[in-house]
Amino acid sequence: MRKLFVGLDISQLDYKVSIIDQEGDNPIAPFAVDNNEPGSNELVDKLLAVCKKTNTETIFIGFESTSVYGWHIQYFLADNKELKPYNPSIICFNPKIIDKFKKSLNVNPYKDDWVDANAIAERLRFGRLPKASQVDFRYLSLQRLTRHRFHLIRSLIKEKCYYLNNLFLKFNGLCQTKVFSNNFGATASSLFDNFFNTEEIAKASMDELIDFLIDKGKGKFDEPEKVAKKLKQAAANSYKLRPNIDDSLNFVLCSCRHNITSLNQQIRSVDKVIEREVMGLTNEYQCLKSIKGIGPVIAAGIIAEISNISRFDSESALAKYSGIYWNKYQSGSYEAEDSSVQRTGNSYLRYYFVQAAEQMRRHLPEFNEFYTRKYNESKTHKHKRALILTARKAVRLIFALLREEKLYKPSAKKGDVNINNK
């Protein structure tokens, strides 16, 4: 079977192309095309010409992961009808793999687009390739939504951290003493709308503070007198700032609160859109929804990143793809008991698996028992270690459900898992 290997080095404006045959010869000189639809059509035309000239039967096309720059060309080539007869395999490489392979070739060690394109083509010819990117267009729209939600969540976390940093500058006593259960709640957020600085809070009467807590807390404080006393003491212990600094911090905190409110609203909106979109993937959705604790958003995130479960030969392959696996460290008769978890997989899928594990341990006794056991076994970072191990257990269950198209039903026997036919 005659094979053709095509290496693409992609940038925002264009991509360099190197084509070699199975003997390592270049049928045509390397060339560059624009990173747009006309440029991609030009690439296809040249590939077809080379295929006919060399009697090629199969094409392997490779490129490095480049964030969004390779997104269009990947799906353009996968959906191109003229290339279908040549069974194109589209491989997305981790840049580290190409960098190490380039060093083994003893070529120019410096960054050069033409050298990189040729190295990618040579890596394709070398073999032992990762699985080709099987493009299933049914999942693309859902994937953009779930990844956007991931982006919003990370932005919200960052904004909250920034808010707390400035809150410490403004009112360090509030951060050091647990006055409110949530410093982002309505009462804490409106604190500086009623009081300009900590001195005003410290000098305020107990009755004034109690009335403020009852009004803003809407009667949810069981003992407003104790909370008011804590608040007054925290204000008295805090550093006193100059008025111009207080004014600046008030503005920053107010701006941060608006950003946090806006992000929360956007997350609620995208959740509704995700829920509507995932309904079109009935089989996978019903399988995951049968697990108590997994709602539409978590289910959608897992489905969108896995795409078609047939891409994975085993649950171990799925775990590795999501970055929930551990290195083995062994030499002679020695094998390390502790090893670090890898984080080189799909970060989006790992996030949704961990979120699923968090909910499953709350709602399913067998997962809660597993989490508790691992929590007690861990010496450091107890929650993180136990949760990531629980996520690994969740991968095994979710793989089985999706692969067999079955619903989950907790077993009567403690610790067992029961998978029922739909």
Q: How far apart are CA 340 and CA 67, in angstroms?
A: 26
What percentage of the chain exceeds 70 in pLDDT? Answer: 91
Q: How high is the pLDDT of residue 409?
A: 84
**pLDDT-based confidence at 411, cuts 50/70/90?**
low
Output 53 or 110, whichever has higher pLDDT.
Answer: 53
Crossing angle of the two packed helices 315-322 and 347-363, in degrees rounded to 10: 110
β-sheet bridge partners, residue 17 = 8, 31
For residue 32, the SS3 value is strand
Q: How high is the pLDDT of residue 338?
A: 55
Angle CA(53)–CA(55)–CA(56) in degrees, nearest 5?
110
- Mean pLDDT, to the nearest integer, of 314-340? 68
| Residue matched to tokens 């990117």 | 133
Tokens for 202? 């410290």
Output 97 or 13, whichever has higher pLDDT.
Answer: 13
Q: How high is the pLDDT of residue 104?
A: 82
pTM of this structure: 0.83
Average per-residue pLDDT for the chain: 88
Per-residue pLDDT tens for 366-405? Answer: 999 999 999 999 888 899 999 999 999 999 999 999 999 9
Per-residue pLDDT tens for 118-158? Answer: 999 999 999 888 766 666 788 889 999 999 999 999 999 99
Q: 367 Cβ partners below 8 Å, 6+ apart? A: 357, 360, 361, 390, 393, 394
Q: 298, 293, 302: which is closest to 410 by C-alpha?
A: 293
- Indicate if the pLDDT at residue 421 is higher than 80: no
- Mean pLDDT, to the nearest integer, of 304-313? 90
**pLDDT-based confidence at 58, cuts 50/70/90?**
very high
Tokens for 416? 């067992």
Chain mean position to CA 28: 40
β-sheet bridge partners, residue 18 = 7
Please give the C-alpha separations between residue 144 and each of 128, 140, 359, in angstroms, as whole numbers.
30, 6, 23
- Indicate if the pLDDT at residue 415 is higher than 50: no
Q: How high is the pLDDT of residue 189?
A: 84
Q: How far apart are CA 70 and CA 146, in angstroms?
A: 20
For residue 286, the SS3 value is helix
Please give the C-alpha separations between residue 280 and each of 105, 136, 276, in angstroms, as whole numbers.
48, 14, 8
Per-residue pLDDT tens for 168-221? Answer: 999 999 888 888 888 888 888 888 778 878 888 999 999 999 999 998 888 888
Q: 31, 3, 35: which is closest to 17 by C-alpha?
A: 31
**Following DSSP, what letter does each residue of 243-297 receive, concatenated?**
HHHHHHHHHHHHHHHHHHHHHHHHHHHHHHHHHHHHTTSHHHHHHHHTSTT--HH
Q: Spell out the domains of the chain, with CATH numbers in brackets.
A: 3-126 (3.30.420.40), 143-274 (1.10.287), 280-421 (no CATH)
Output 131 or 409, whichever has higher pLDDT.
Answer: 409
